[in-house]
Amino acid sequence: MNFAQVDFPHPPRRRPVIGDFGTMMRRHRGRPVQRAVEVLADFTEPVVEVKLFNAKLVLVRSGLVGAELCDETRFEKRLAPGLITLRQLAGDGLFTAFNDEPNWQLAHDLLRPAFTRPAMQTYHGTMLQVCRELTDTWDTIEGPVDVSPWLTKMTLETIGRTSFSTDFGSFTSEQVHPFVTSMVDALAAAQRRGFLTSAPLAKLFLRRNQATLDRNREYLDTVLDEIIAARVASGDRSERDLLGLMLNAEHEASGEKLDLRNVRHQILTFLIAGHETTSGALSFALYYLATNPQVRARAQAETDEILGVDPDAEPTFEQIAKFRYIRRVLDEALRLWPTAPGFVRGARQDTMLAGQWPMTTKDQCMVLAAAIHRDPEIWPEPSRFDPERFTPAAVKARPAHTYFPFGTGERACIGRQFALHEAVLVLARLLHRYEFSADPRYRLKVSERLTLMPEDFRLALTRRTPSGGSQPAADGEPDQTAQPSMMAKRMVSGIASNSVTAARGNSATSVTP
């Protein structure tokens, strides 16, 4: 049975030809994900059909239905229109490959060792160095810092250096590296193209767009091909970075290696998928830390307990796992604003979704994480920022597969541990080094590119003097950060009342997408 034969719930005032275009574009302002979350909030049904001209997609708003779609035996990843357009840049890289493309499985098998614990230990020093360059720069800036652009520079540098030992000069040059400019322009063109493909007469609007995309793609390909060729010609067979691993690793069963074209696709995939997602997660986490003084005080108390009284102290690799409360802050920020806002699933065989909605192998559903992470049946008071949702007990009590900021199943983000390690490291360093505050007049505004990102969010920074403290429990012992320490209570009581009042008036505790 096909979706067309079933009366799916859909937005009111559907019109011939344009379908739900009017509803979805109302108050759109270039933010389709946030508009979709608004529309879904008006429904009680678990799924909602949206039709835009000749394109039709079923959006999922129920956490339990989203969890069902995560069943790998019944459903699989499908590429959304935006990802299909992105294939013009990243080809059959891990993020944009179709399920049946052989390079996906080969690359996935070969690259898994790049994200094991031993590999992560080799990246730790680079992450510290780039974070150090960020804080050195922030120390010299007078006035508030524009958070997201600086964090994006930092995460891009980290990916560039760990992926193919390339420094983009983000903290040493006043000029933006042309590779970065070209990549940003190409991504913007790809995003616009993905949005316009379903519109009538789209070809008339897309010709110039395609020319921009082609010009930037050719430049990116040329630069990366030259880097790959130079590494091959050097005879360097070490696996000191991802490029070395991709060039030299052989599949343990078949002996296959990645071809050079796919190596280029994988490098670009890591650059595209790996930098904005992490910088967005960090930006949202800093927003909630800045606007929730008690949360910030408790997180800073944790850094003081682990790192001590030296504001320049840097966490060791083993210490990252000890920042349990900071990790909860990050998880809760990603719940409210998953920087990769959703993924598309299709049926492996004709089936019934939730026992009611028919899906054929040609049909597909978008699991909109930004909506499911606000399902009140799963997340009580879903708009409230509360890191305690991610205590071990709370996580265990929730239904499985209802939180997925990194996707799901075998096609979930392979670099998840890389991103989380870097994000916790950076948050710990910033919390330990700085007191920071946001303008109390600022209201969270989220821009939508390939990912979600706070817009025009600035922090006023001052250097802090850590208080030090006793060492936290070792791994495997009870988590002493589960209750506020005396230090945290003292820090909270010392916060000026006007800061608390400003934070309560801020949108941090009442989120409207």
Instruction: Judge whether 413 is annotated as a binding position.
Output: yes
In b/e form, how buried is each residue of 227-262, taking b as 16+ CB within 10 angstroms? bbeebeeeeeeebebbbbbbbbbeeeeeeebbeeeb
Q: Can you tell me the distance from the alpha carbon of 374 to that of 95, in angstroms, rounded to the nearest whole number? A: 26
Q: Can you tell me the distance from the alpha carbon of 122 to that of 265, in angstroms, rounded to the nearest whole number? A: 23
In b/e form, how buried is each residue of 316-330, taking b as 16+ CB within 10 angstroms? ebebbebbbbbbbbb
Residues with catalytic roles: 277, 406, 413
SS3 annotation, 60-106: ECCHHHHHHHCCCCCEEEECCHHHHHHHHHHCCCCCCCCCCCHHHHH
Both tokens of 488, joined, read: 């945290």
Neighbours of 429 (CB within 10 A): 23
Neighbours of 16 (CB within 10 A): 5
| CA-closest candidate to residue 366, choices 338, 345, 351 | 345
First to last CA, the chain: 35
Rounded to 10 degrees, the C-alpha dihedral 44/47/53/55 comes to 170
Helical spans, DSSP H, in 375-437:
392-397, 416-433
Using DSSP's 3-state secondary structure scheme, residue 506 falls into coil
Residue ranges for the binding site? 413
User: Annotated binding residues for heme, as ranges?
Assistant: 413
